Amino acid sequence: MKITSAEFIKSAVWPAQYPPATMPEIAFVGRSNVGKSSLMNTLVGRKKLAKTSNTPGRTQLINFFDINGAISFVDLPGYGFAKVSQSVKKDWGNMIETYLRERQNLAMVIFILDIRRDPSDDDLSLRAWLEEYHIPYISILTKVDKLSNNQTLGRKKLIEKALGADTQKKTILFSAKTQKGKEELWQFLENHLSSLECR
């Protein structure tokens, strides 16, 4: 995909604040610090579209971006940040689940996991919502540059197993550092978006 423009639209918490549902939307989810912003920036080839930071748990809003005036990207709040109160955790969970349940133009969720870590309880709840609401999604195993090829393949098997044997869904190996997986993910997204247009 050739990126001609990539712009921040707005931040929101609840559906009334979401921008109009005019374009197919691709949402990015994962635990704090997993590399969500880095993945979005890599996909659009912009260093600072979505803020990346070493301080996990900062992004607490839903951020909407316009890509080429044709699709929108959504950066959902990172979950699983240990140092916040139970009530804040509950708000984040509500915010994410409400978005997944209500957003009419949601076309695909990019579910991001760190290749080095086992899926957390929050990851498993997220995956359960995706299944429950019948939302198309793809799992991305990121930061693969941190492991050898052999380690990567071993971890991929373990994570796919932990996510459930019933997931015949695809996983893509990714690195924001080396850009591995960027073309494969764009190809997958473009195929999916064009299958929606044909309906």
Ligand X SMILES: Nc1nc2c(ncn2[C@@H]2O[C@H](COP(=O)(O)OP(=O)(O)O)[C@@H](O)[C@H]2O)c(=O)[nH]1
- Write the burial class of residue 170 (CB in 10 Å: 0-12 exposed, 13-18 middle, 19+ buried): exposed
Q: How far is the CB of 106 from ligand X (least distance, A)?
A: 19
Give the integer Cα–Cα distance in Å for 86 and 189: 35
Contact between 171 and Mg ion by CB under 5 A: the answer reads no
Q: Does 55 bind ligand X (CB under 6 A)?
A: no
Please give the size of the binding site for Mg ion, defined by CB under 5 A.
3
Residue 194 CB, nearest approach to Mg ion (Å):
28
Between CA 103 and CA 111 the distance in angstroms is 17
Residue with smaller CB distance to ligand X, 35 or 119: 35
Q: Going residue by residue from 62 to 101, which x/- string records binding to ligand X, judged by CB under 6 A?
A: ----------------x-----------------------
Strands 25-30 and 171-173: unpaired
77, 101, 148 from 105: Cα distances, Å: 19, 11, 38
Task: Give the per-residue contact string, 36-75, with Mg ion (x = CB under 5 A; - = no).
Answer: xx---------------------x----------------
Strand ranges for 31-121 from DSSP E:
62-67, 71-75, 106-114
Return the residue of 53, 94, 187, 195 that touches ligand X, per CB under 6 A: 53
**32 interacts with Mg ion by CB under 5 A:** no
> Is 142 near ligand X (CB under 6 A)?
yes
Tell me: does residue 171 bind ligand X (CB under 6 A): no
* Bridging pattern class, strands 6-12 and 62-67: antiparallel
Report whether 99 contacts 77 (CB < 8 A): no
User: Which chain residues interact with ligand X by CB under 6 A?
Assistant: 30, 32-38, 52-54, 56, 78, 142-143, 145-146, 175-177
